[in-house]
Amino acid sequence: MDTNLKIAIVEDNDDLRSLLVQDLSIAGYFVQGADSGEQLDEIFAVNNFDVLIADVNLPGESGFDIAARYKRLNTYLTVVMLTARTSAEDKIKGYESGADLYLTKPVSNPELLAVIGSISRRVISQKVTPEITLNLKSLTLSGLKAVELNRQEALIVKALSESPSSNLPYYRLLEICNEPVDETSKAGLEVRITRLRKKFVEVGVEKSFRALRGNGYQLLVSVHIIL
């Protein structure tokens, strides 16, 4: 079992949410719960979760919409729908929304732990990445190979790496790049992140950045900085 596996749960039934958090925490996982999509966004802003367990019937944004939104932000996130809605139409909608697994309530503790254990083994294999180094003097990013960065790309990686939660709002990243905080510069930042993602793939990292909804970006890999 990977005890570092991070699990987020969005469930508006307080008793059930507390029970799920308790059982998975006892099993050794890092778990946080939310009662709505809005609260889920708050906990995702400060943690990089591997698994999202989502109910469907929620206040405000539905579990289907939440699954679709988070899959667009992070295709590597494993989404487990856990709901009382058992029709074939609902299950199809769940998978079309991005769910990797669709479980129906009530689910037994052994079944849920078996599901999470299976996900954990897969995530472990995906997390094997080379040590990544950013050399600020030569402006190179190194892993399985070395690639060149421009100064702004290096500043972005350095700033995100040094942030306590590995994430920063887009306006702060623009300030670090010495650019005005406006929509044009924000679009330019998106282009830089896309290029950086490709460079991280070149050095051996598939999951490097996660877009935070309307807020900024999070670095998903540890980077050693050489001054």
For residue 175, give both structure tokens.
């300030």
- Is residue 215 domain-shared with residue 148, that is, in the same domain? yes
- Is residue 10 domain-shared with residue 121, that is, in the same domain? yes
- Is residue 64 domain-shared with residue 137, that is, in the same domain? no
Is it the case that residue 2 has pLDDT exceeding 80?
no
Q: Which strands form 132-135's sheet, in the order they lie side by side?
A: 146-148, 140-142, 132-135, 223-226
Confidence of residue 45 (pLDDT cuts 50, 70, 90): confident
What digits encode the pLDDT tens for the residues 47-94?
888 899 999 999 999 999 999 999 887 777 899 999 999 999 999 999
71 domain residue, yes or no: yes
Q: What is the pLDDT of residue 125?
A: 63
- Is residue 139 domain-shared with residue 104, that is, in the same domain? no
Give Cβ neighbours of residue 71 (< 8 Å, ≥ 6 apart): 77, 79, 97, 98
- Is residue 10 domain-shared with residue 99, that is, in the same domain? yes
What digits encode the pLDDT tens for the residues 166-214?
899 999 999 999 999 999 999 999 999 999 999 998 888 888 998 887 6
What digits encode the pLDDT tens for the residues 125-165?
666 567 899 999 999 999 888 999 999 999 999 999 998 88
| φ and ψ at residue 183, rounded to 5 degrees | -65, -35
**How many domains is the chain built from?**
2
CB 29 within 8 A of CB 74: no
- Is residue 157 domain-shared with residue 222, that is, in the same domain? yes
Domain final position from 69, 94, 126: 126
Q: Which domain holds residue 171?
A: 132-226
26 domain residue, yes or no: yes
Q: Which strands form 216-219's sheet, in the order they lie side by side?
A: 167-169, 216-219, 209-212
**Which pTM value belongs to this model?**
0.59
Q: What is the pLDDT of residue 188?
A: 92
- Is residue 32 domain-shared with residue 107, that is, in the same domain? yes
- Is residue 108 domain-shared with residue 36, that is, in the same domain? yes
CB 143 within 8 A of CB 157: no
- Max CA-CA distance within the chain? 59
Domain final position from 103, 126, 149: 126
Read off the amino acid at residue 173. Answer: L
* Chain position carrying tokens 């019937």: 57
Domain final position from 106, 126, 146: 126
35 domain residue, yes or no: yes
Read off the amino acid at residue 98. Answer: G
Q: What is the CATH number of the domain that holds 37?
A: 3.40.50.2300
Q: What is the pLDDT of residue 128?
A: 59
98 domain residue, yes or no: yes
DSSP state at residue 87: -
Q: What is the pLDDT of residue 102?
A: 94
Q: Which strands form 51-54's sheet, in the order they lie side by side?
A: 30-34, 6-10, 51-54, 78-83, 101-104
- Is residue 21 domain-shared with residue 107, that is, in the same domain? yes
- Is residue 118 domain-shared with residue 21, that is, in the same domain? yes
Q: What is the CATH number of the domain that holds 140?
A: 1.10.10.10
- Is residue 113 domain-shared with residue 138, that is, in the same domain? no
Q: What is the pLDDT of residue 151?
A: 94
CB 203 within 8 A of CB 143: yes
- Is residue 26 domain-shared with residue 63, that is, in the same domain? yes
Q: What is the pLDDT of residue 1?
A: 43
1 domain residue, yes or no: no
